Structure 1
Protein backbone atom coordinates (compact mmCIF):
# COMPACT_ATOMS: atom_id res chain seq x y z
CA UNK A 1 0.00 0.00 0.00
CA UNK A 2 2.89 2.35 0.74
CA UNK A 3 4.32 1.62 -2.68
CA UNK A 4 1.02 2.48 -4.36
CA UNK A 5 0.67 5.60 -2.25
CA UNK A 6 4.23 6.73 -3.05
CA UNK A 7 3.65 6.09 -6.80
CA UNK A 8 0.42 8.05 -6.62
CA UNK A 9 2.18 10.93 -4.88
CA UNK A 10 5.01 10.82 -7.40
CA UNK A 11 2.57 10.86 -10.31
CA UNK A 12 0.57 13.60 -8.63
CA UNK A 13 3.73 15.68 -8.14
CA UNK A 14 4.80 15.04 -11.72
CA UNK A 15 1.38 16.15 -12.96
CA UNK A 16 1.54 19.20 -10.72
CA UNK A 17 5.05 20.01 -11.97
CA UNK A 18 3.80 19.74 -15.58
CA UNK A 19 0.93 22.09 -14.78
CA UNK A 20 3.29 24.58 -13.15
CA UNK A 21 5.59 24.38 -16.15
CA UNK A 22 2.63 24.92 -18.49
CA UNK A 23 1.49 27.90 -16.40
CA UNK A 24 4.97 29.39 -16.51
CA UNK A 25 5.13 28.90 -20.28
CA UNK A 26 1.67 30.44 -20.63
CA UNK A 27 2.70 33.40 -18.48
CA UNK A 28 5.83 33.87 -20.57
CA UNK A 29 3.76 33.72 -23.77
CA UNK A 30 1.28 36.24 -22.38
CA UNK A 31 4.09 38.59 -21.34
CA UNK A 32 5.68 38.26 -24.77
CA UNK A 33 2.33 39.02 -26.42
CA UNK A 34 1.87 42.08 -24.17
CA UNK A 35 5.32 43.31 -25.13
CA UNK A 36 4.53 42.83 -28.81
CA UNK A 37 1.24 44.71 -28.37
CA UNK A 38 3.04 47.62 -26.69
CA UNK A 39 5.63 47.70 -29.48
CA UNK A 40 2.85 47.63 -32.07
CA UNK A 41 0.96 50.41 -30.30
CA UNK A 42 4.14 52.50 -30.20
CA UNK A 43 4.70 51.90 -33.92
CA UNK A 44 1.08 52.81 -34.68
CA UNK A 45 1.41 56.03 -32.67
CA UNK A 46 4.64 56.97 -34.46
CA UNK A 47 3.08 56.18 -37.83
CA UNK A 48 0.07 58.30 -36.94
CA UNK A 49 2.35 61.20 -35.98
CA UNK A 50 4.23 60.90 -39.27
CA UNK A 51 0.90 60.77 -41.12
CA UNK A 52 -0.27 63.96 -39.41
CA UNK A 53 3.02 65.67 -40.25
CA UNK A 54 2.68 64.62 -43.90
CA UNK A 55 -0.91 65.89 -44.01
CA UNK A 56 0.18 69.20 -42.53
CA UNK A 57 2.97 69.51 -45.10
CA UNK A 58 0.59 68.65 -47.93
CA UNK A 59 -1.92 71.23 -46.67
CA UNK A 60 0.79 73.88 -46.63
CA UNK A 61 1.98 72.90 -50.12
CA UNK A 62 -1.59 73.05 -51.41
CA UNK A 63 -1.85 76.62 -50.12
CA UNK A 64 1.41 77.52 -51.86
CA UNK A 65 0.23 75.93 -55.12
CA UNK A 66 -3.12 77.73 -54.97
CA UNK A 67 -1.38 81.05 -54.29
CA UNK A 68 1.02 80.39 -57.18
CA UNK A 69 -1.92 79.60 -59.49
CA UNK A 70 -3.57 82.89 -58.50
CA UNK A 71 -0.34 84.77 -59.24
CA UNK A 72 -0.02 83.02 -62.61
CA UNK A 73 -3.60 83.97 -63.47
CA UNK A 74 -2.84 87.60 -62.56
CA UNK A 75 0.37 87.57 -64.62
CA UNK A 76 -1.44 85.93 -67.55
CA UNK A 77 -4.14 88.61 -67.47
CA UNK A 78 -1.45 91.31 -67.45
CA UNK A 79 0.35 89.71 -70.40
CA UNK A 80 -2.89 89.53 -72.38
CA UNK A 81 -3.62 93.20 -71.66
CA UNK A 82 -0.03 94.14 -72.58
CA UNK A 83 -0.40 92.38 -75.93
CA UNK A 84 -3.59 94.33 -76.63
CA UNK A 85 -1.87 97.63 -75.79
CA UNK A 86 1.14 96.76 -77.96
CA UNK A 87 -1.09 95.83 -80.90
CA UNK A 88 -2.96 99.15 -80.59
CA UNK A 89 0.35 101.02 -80.41
CA UNK A 90 1.64 99.18 -83.48
CA UNK A 91 -1.56 99.93 -85.39
CA UNK A 92 -1.36 103.63 -84.45
CA UNK A 93 2.31 103.75 -85.46
CA UNK A 94 1.46 102.22 -88.85
CA UNK A 95 -1.40 104.70 -89.34
CA UNK A 96 0.90 107.61 -88.45
CA UNK A 97 3.59 106.29 -90.81
CA UNK A 98 1.07 106.04 -93.66
CA UNK A 99 -0.18 109.55 -92.88
CA UNK A 100 3.40 110.88 -92.85
CA UNK A 101 4.21 109.26 -96.21
CA UNK A 102 0.96 110.57 -97.64
CA UNK A 103 1.79 114.12 -96.51
CA UNK A 104 5.30 113.80 -97.91
CA UNK A 105 3.88 112.75 -101.27
CA UNK A 106 1.36 115.62 -101.25
CA UNK A 107 4.06 118.13 -100.35
CA UNK A 108 6.36 116.87 -103.06
CA UNK A 109 3.52 117.11 -105.61
CA UNK A 110 2.56 120.63 -104.60
CA UNK A 111 6.09 121.97 -104.66
Structure 2
Protein backbone atom coordinates (compact mmCIF):
# COMPACT_ATOMS: atom_id res chain seq x y z
CA UNK A 1 0.00 0.00 0.00
CA UNK A 2 1.46 3.33 -1.02
CA UNK A 3 1.46 6.00 1.64
CA UNK A 4 0.63 9.52 0.57
CA UNK A 5 1.02 12.67 2.58
CA UNK A 6 -2.11 14.70 2.15
CA UNK A 7 -2.28 18.30 3.26
CA UNK A 8 -5.80 19.54 3.36
CA UNK A 9 -8.16 21.22 5.72
CA UNK A 10 -10.50 18.99 7.63
CA UNK A 11 -14.10 19.61 6.78
CA UNK A 12 -16.27 18.94 9.78
CA UNK A 13 -19.15 16.59 9.17
CA UNK A 14 -22.10 16.00 11.45
CA UNK A 15 -21.41 13.10 13.79
CA UNK A 16 -24.39 11.14 12.44
CA UNK A 17 -22.86 10.95 8.94
CA UNK A 18 -20.79 7.86 8.17
CA UNK A 19 -17.02 8.20 8.16
CA UNK A 20 -14.90 7.64 5.09
CA UNK A 21 -13.86 4.07 4.33
CA UNK A 22 -10.51 5.35 3.02
CA UNK A 23 -7.82 4.71 5.67
CA UNK A 24 -5.60 7.49 4.31
CA UNK A 25 -8.47 9.95 4.63
CA UNK A 26 -9.24 8.88 8.20
CA UNK A 27 -5.54 9.06 9.12
CA UNK A 28 -5.29 12.56 7.69
CA UNK A 29 -8.39 13.67 9.59
CA UNK A 30 -7.09 12.25 12.88
CA UNK A 31 -3.73 13.99 12.46
CA UNK A 32 -5.48 17.25 11.69
CA UNK A 33 -7.69 16.98 14.77
CA UNK A 34 -4.67 16.08 16.91
CA UNK A 35 -2.89 19.21 15.74
CA UNK A 36 -5.94 21.35 16.37
CA UNK A 37 -6.41 19.81 19.84
CA UNK A 38 -2.80 20.41 20.85
CA UNK A 39 -2.88 23.99 19.69
CA UNK A 40 -6.24 24.50 21.40
CA UNK A 41 -4.93 23.26 24.75
CA UNK A 42 -2.10 25.78 24.62
CA UNK A 43 -4.32 28.67 23.53
CA UNK A 44 -7.07 27.91 26.06
CA UNK A 45 -4.45 27.91 28.82
CA UNK A 46 -3.11 31.29 27.71
CA UNK A 47 -6.57 32.79 27.76
CA UNK A 48 -7.54 31.26 31.10
CA UNK A 49 -4.39 32.69 32.66
CA UNK A 50 -5.10 36.13 31.22
CA UNK A 51 -8.66 36.16 32.54
CA UNK A 52 -7.53 34.93 35.94
CA UNK A 53 -4.85 37.63 36.21
CA UNK A 54 -6.57 40.61 34.56
CA UNK A 55 -10.28 40.55 34.13
CA UNK A 56 -12.24 39.43 37.18
CA UNK A 57 -12.60 40.68 40.72
CA UNK A 58 -11.32 38.40 43.45
CA UNK A 59 -13.53 35.32 43.84
CA UNK A 60 -15.31 35.62 40.50
CA UNK A 61 -12.89 33.45 38.50
CA UNK A 62 -14.38 30.18 39.80
CA UNK A 63 -17.89 31.39 38.95
CA UNK A 64 -16.73 32.37 35.49
CA UNK A 65 -15.11 28.94 34.98
CA UNK A 66 -18.42 27.36 35.86
CA UNK A 67 -20.13 29.49 33.22
CA UNK A 68 -17.84 27.97 30.56
CA UNK A 69 -18.32 24.44 31.96
CA UNK A 70 -14.78 24.07 33.29
CA UNK A 71 -13.64 23.30 36.80
CA UNK A 72 -10.67 24.86 38.55
CA UNK A 73 -8.58 21.68 38.38
CA UNK A 74 -8.88 21.43 34.61
CA UNK A 75 -8.22 25.16 34.20
CA UNK A 76 -5.03 24.88 36.28
CA UNK A 77 -3.83 22.04 34.02
CA UNK A 78 -4.41 24.09 30.87
CA UNK A 79 -2.62 27.09 32.40
CA UNK A 80 0.33 24.96 33.55
CA UNK A 81 0.69 23.48 30.07
CA UNK A 82 0.61 26.90 28.40
CA UNK A 83 3.19 28.28 30.84
CA UNK A 84 5.52 25.30 30.49
CA UNK A 85 5.69 24.86 26.74
CA UNK A 86 6.84 27.63 24.51
CA UNK A 87 7.44 25.06 21.77
CA UNK A 88 3.92 24.68 20.43
CA UNK A 89 4.90 21.91 18.03
CA UNK A 90 5.29 19.66 21.09
CA UNK A 91 1.79 20.47 22.27
CA UNK A 92 0.35 19.61 18.86
CA UNK A 93 1.21 15.94 19.34
CA UNK A 94 0.20 15.33 22.96
CA UNK A 95 -3.04 15.44 24.89
CA UNK A 96 -3.66 17.65 27.89
CA UNK A 97 -3.03 14.88 30.44
CA UNK A 98 0.34 13.96 28.94
CA UNK A 99 1.32 17.61 28.65
CA UNK A 100 0.23 18.27 32.22
CA UNK A 101 2.25 15.32 33.53
CA UNK A 102 5.33 16.58 31.70
CA UNK A 103 4.72 20.18 32.77
CA UNK A 104 4.59 19.22 36.45
CA UNK A 105 7.95 17.44 36.36
CA UNK A 106 10.79 19.50 37.81
CA UNK A 107 12.56 21.24 34.93
CA UNK A 108 15.83 19.39 35.57
CA UNK A 109 13.93 16.09 35.16
CA UNK A 110 12.34 17.26 31.91
CA UNK A 111 15.74 18.16 30.48
CA UNK A 112 17.52 15.00 31.66
CA UNK A 113 18.12 12.16 29.22
CA UNK A 114 16.07 9.13 30.20
CA UNK A 115 16.80 5.56 29.29
CA UNK A 116 14.41 2.61 29.19
CA UNK A 117 15.47 -0.95 29.96
CA UNK A 118 14.98 -1.67 26.26
CA UNK A 119 17.63 0.92 25.43
Q: Decide: shared fold, TM above 0.5.
A: no
User: Normalising by structure 1, what TM-score?
Assistant: 0.30
Max Rg structure: 1
**Which structure's relative contact order is higher, taking Cα pairs within 8 Å and 6+ residues apart?**
2
Q: Give the structure with the larger helix fraction.
A: 1
